Structure 1
């Protein structure tokens, strides 16, 4: 009775998804492989704790399945798709039609009917952008071939799910020419309704709900499940509606904290449930027979690899791409995870696909999820890094991020640094850093203490908090006076600490916000965000998050890892130069490239970097700027090793995810957690 209890099942699943993926990731294997194996061990072929037919397991798995497709739609970069729409559609068609023809041939060769063969082809036609973080790290995302491949995902996934809907209808005996027209027309109307309706409704709701992230999060979940139910109503699979919902709210969410929460909930809860359930369905004896006979498994794997290669080759001829660009397109389109696994499970449950095909697709997923990123890392490193955009060739002041007021206000307002003060132990170092920068730029410092508001302004607790805030800003004033800089302390009452900081910064047209580093990594902080997260999201100006181990003026060497020559990178370099000027420190620009990167490409990057690093509004001949290139696959460990000889590491604040939210590889967080020196994270406003 206890084993059948929903609470027991949920507890076992939580333990699995908490413990298993990190173990496999340490072995350089995808975490989802561990979840599949856990499903096998806990299922009928193992300890028999879990079973696919359990109501709780079925519910959680179905939620995970639609959530996986929702995230797949959410992660497609619509901006890049619009930039190369026609070519993306062209390559999308090729990388869809070639695998689907190959799959039909394989299915017929092994004795499957036309419907099953068509579904096998559709499984091979989609792709998952597992290697996107690699091309992003190499700085080649703006290469047209890469952009076209990323944009093609929207076509392949949508078309593959459409074929799935048709195959399921045929299998149910509901297929006639009239029913086909009905399915296509109803799906077309439904797609327009979802894509336009939820996009419009989302923008309106977000505008009206303003900063209520909880309500916005619930709206997104409601959109997901309404779309899934709607798809079922018109006779197609729920995952089709979930994918369309992801596309619909894509523009609405952008890179907001709400998107982060949506992906976090899916990544740590529902999507792993789906993969555990996939493991429960793996029949070990049948899996062994499938691998023993080899035939269909090898045919599916080689068919996928070959057809994707042909599609990339034809696209390269059509669009006149180089061999390296062709190989990059091929490797990016290889991995089969999100849409493939979700559609395979549907086909297996509808008895269209046999256990041999199901097991072969599991092998396909394992092979392509390893092979695709491996090839991408080798071939994409040989792509030429696109020249910096025009705005980056002549960088503005490092604090001149978009979103500030016009030139008239900038000309009359002094350089302003806002420093929220809360912790007396770290207050001195924050004020000293702000004062040094403000003095260098002939500006001012605004120490601010935020007191959380109460319903009644005569509440004794409010008065006590205000008294504490006054003491904090008074102490900040005393510290700042030693640096001969203007200090304008402020105390503010606000219901939201983060918004109180950013609102005051906007009112005073601040050029920089200086925050102390928070070690809060609790589940609540990851789910609902920290004050730092909220400030980074809502601020109009750059934000630096600091963890200083010594006085700023004692810093004599600054390490700045750089990835590309984007405007953001150049602003970080400008900030490092200003920071070095106030403490007479040396700046080391660390460029980490893959071992396969040609020497000529590295040399061109260093030359371009040399041309821009001295573009400063305050040229200081005493500042030494060195460029150091290191070849390595492990970015985090390389930064940590190079940081051992420096006093401060200056990094960009950025998060990295893999598709599906199953594993988070946050290089910045890893480095900060293991650094033994001071660190500053530089974050730009979202626009």
Structure 2
């Protein structure tokens, strides 16, 4: 028995238990329509001293992993800030950032002094906890296509100022708490922090660009460089005399432009979102004493004052900016709701304040409750308010007339579709799909077979793989003759399938890649890897992932869900139009909106979609536009798909929020439940090639 007890205290057991919690608990809570992070906190309470006492937050294992999670949390917060959006509205972002920082700071300080009875240092720190915000609802405004609305871009830019301001106040409060803090030491701290910040922001940015330029496609070393930058910045912050999370946040800002939206960013965020950041939330749960938490809630006064003060002060700050810049009511509510959630900087700073014994356990409990309330309330309000915003006319113009060069600028016959063939059972349908596209563009197809490489080229298995690949290419050649399209079969011998596809596509100057269905989605694909995902990351052109249940030649009814009027959301419409034109099929566009959307906005959206249909093609196929007011987007699209032969979806990448937890999307559950053929149309990051030929569109002014 003693040996079993001793074994359970081993660090590897604690780590295995943490992995089990991270894997199993969040999905259960999400099925209950609760945030996954709530499940992680609850698991921490259950496994901590208030429950089964299986995990100890003071153990070396938990301390190390939680510290890494805390650093990662703030790094991701800096990495997720859209600097391009910030640069568009820098001055107004500064105004809103200052307002939404100072008003809650003053409110929180007064609450700490008058309601909580804390000293000035603790009260100011409480105020700083209310001053920052986490863009938890950013995916909502992105899905609604209103990211370019000025109120949204101003709020995104303001995040930089609120987070930096909150971390600066934290650094000062921690310094004051350690004693021997004078005006001179404050001046030295501020000067040191300024020099350090400039060194991180400009030094790491320059180093990162140089390193990425020299290493080019070496994603492994680039990934290690980013990790090294994060932890070096954290160590540097401690040397300067401030908290590690300050350095982590600055490192995120510094490498923001360097990593862009590429695969290195995905890998960095993935490691944090599935491992370290969830462990941080579990550790927060371990800190919670259940009896004390219930007692804090029952006292009610401080809890109500802090949460009410946050909600009220954030609204006042947004209202002041509304008056200054003459924003409308929906923009006011959008700014308020976007700046309401308190997750990343707030939780990290709270933990530091609690560990430094500046903040009491009651404040820790209240902040966790505040996080839960605002992380639910903020996105709910955003979904309703942002749905009333009108997408900017320039966004619609870009959707119809992308800035990138259209395919039709190429000479006739230059349109090339690469079709990787590996499964004889799906080869014919993929070839037919590629044929339809190539025939419309007077182009050609390139059947591509990949034989898995071996260390010895005379290995019998190598011979077998080559023969099988050649057989697939012979079948593809026969199919191309039958379908009446020029084909140029290619055989490649490679160790990795995904690079072979993308390299061959680049060599052939492909306009499009048509991939067969990989069958793996969601968490498993992100954890174990997926050829489709890798091709999407590295391909230079558009990628169509097809799950075809019947011959594409028989498609007569095509459904295209359109979530907004952005360029990426509209391109599937053109894809569907081409399939419909060669098959004499009908296209149905469906847009699911909030049930509370005004009739005027619905009519406007319908007219814009009809306009886009007419502008994308000089002779568009028969097209219907359906606007469905419903909360459940997935169910609405599933119902609309009944009787359809094909559904064309955008292959959206799972976005990791600033809280480090993966945010679910509509695409994955849809694909799992659709009973007809599906095409996932995915654009690689930074792709500058247009998908299929479009007519030249009118000027932006004619679309407004």
TM-score normalized with structure 2 length: 0.93
Q: Give 1:77 deviation, angstroms.
A: 0.8
Counterparts of 2:530 and 2:214 in 1: how far apart (Å)?
Answer: 23
Counterparts of 1:284 and 1:571 in 2: how far apart (Å)?
Answer: 52
1:5 aligns with 2:14: no
Counterparts of 1:647 and 1:224 in 2: how far apart (Å)?
Answer: 49
Q: Secondary structure at the match of 2:659?
A: helix
Partner of 1:637: 635
Contact 1:403 1:541 in 2 (8 A): no
1:668 aligns with 2:684: no
Q: Give 1:295 deviation, angstroms.
A: 0.9
Partner of 2:498: 498
Partner of 1:155: 161
Counterparts of 1:237 and 1:537 in 2: how far apart (Å)?
Answer: 35
Partner of 1:426: 426
Q: Secondary structure at the match of 1:482?
A: helix
1:572-595 CA distance string (max 9 Å, x none): 211101011222221110101011
Partner of 2:294: 288
Contact 2:396 2:566 in 1 (8 A): no
Change (3 A) 1:231 1:393: closer
Q: Give 1:453 deviation, angstroms.
A: 4.3
Q: Give 1:659 deviation, angstroms.
A: 3.0
Partner of 1:303: 309
1:312 aligns with 2:318: yes
Deviates more, 1:143-152 or 1:171-180: 171-180
Partner of 1:245: 251
1:402 aligns with 2:404: yes
1:133 aligns with 2:132: no
Partner of 1:236: 242
Q: Give 1:568 deviation, angstroms.
A: 2.3
Counterparts of 2:540 and 2:25 in 1: how far apart (Å)?
Answer: 41
1:72-113 CA distance string (max 9 Å, x none): 111111111111111111100000000111111111112211
Partner of 1:23: 28
Deviates more, 1:637-646 or 1:514-523: 514-523
Q: Secondary structure at the match of 1:165?
A: helix
Q: Give 1:406 deviation, angstroms.
A: 11
Contact 2:400 2:567 in 1 (8 A): no
Counterparts of 2:437 and 2:413 in 1: how far apart (Å)?
Answer: 16
Q: Give 1:512 deviation, angstroms.
A: 1.4
Counterparts of 1:359 and 1:280 in 2: how far apart (Å)?
Answer: 12
Partner of 2:678: 679
Deviates more, 1:487-496 or 1:50-59: 487-496
Q: Give 1:166 deviation, angstroms.
A: 0.7
Change (3 A) 1:297 1:597: same
1:206 aligns with 2:212: yes
Contact 1:35 1:279 in 2 (8 A): yes
Change (3 A) 1:526 1:3: same
Contact 1:392 1:570 in 2 (8 A): no
Q: Secondary structure at the match of 2:590?
A: strand
Deviates more, 1:205-214 or 1:232-241: 205-214
Change (3 A) 1:569 1:273: closer
Q: Give RMSD over aligned pairs.
A: 1.9
Q: Secondary structure at the match of 2:422?
A: coil
Counterparts of 1:357 and 1:676 in 2: how far apart (Å)?
Answer: 51
Partner of 2:50: 45
Matches within 5 A, 1:513-524: 513-521=513-521
Matches within 5 A, 1:73-472: 73-109=78-114, 110-389=116-395, 391-392=397-398, 394-395=400-401, 402=404, 407=409, 410-411=410-411, 413-454=413-454, 457-472=457-472
Contact 1:388 1:565 in 2 (8 A): no
Deviates more, 1:524-533 or 1:129-138: 524-533
Contact 2:522 2:668 in 1 (8 A): no
Partner of 1:578: 578
Counterparts of 1:122 and 1:186 in 2: how far apart (Å)?
Answer: 21
1:368-416 CA distance string (max 9 Å, x none): 11111111122222222222437536536xxxx8378994xx1255321
Q: Return the match for 1:628 from 615, 626, 633.
A: 626
Contact 2:399 2:570 in 1 (8 A): no
Change (3 A) 1:593 1:617: closer
Q: Secondary structure at the match of 1:487?
A: coil
1:609 aligns with 2:616: no
Change (3 A) 1:546 1:71: same
Q: Which residues of structure 2 form unaligned runs of 5+?
A: 1-5, 687-704
Deviates more, 1:634-643 or 1:311-320: 634-643
Q: Secondary structure at the match of 1:591?
A: strand
1:58 aligns with 2:60: no
Contact 2:412 2:441 in 1 (8 A): no
Q: Secondary structure at the match of 2:56?
A: coil
Change (3 A) 1:504 1:612: same
1:313-346 CA distance string (max 9 Å, x none): 1111111111211111011101111110110010
Contact 1:403 1:540 in 2 (8 A): no
1:530-566 CA distance string (max 9 Å, x none): 2222222222221101000000011111110002222
Change (3 A) 1:34 1:617: closer
TM-score normalized with structure 1 length: 0.95
Q: Give 1:457 deviation, angstroms.
A: 4.9
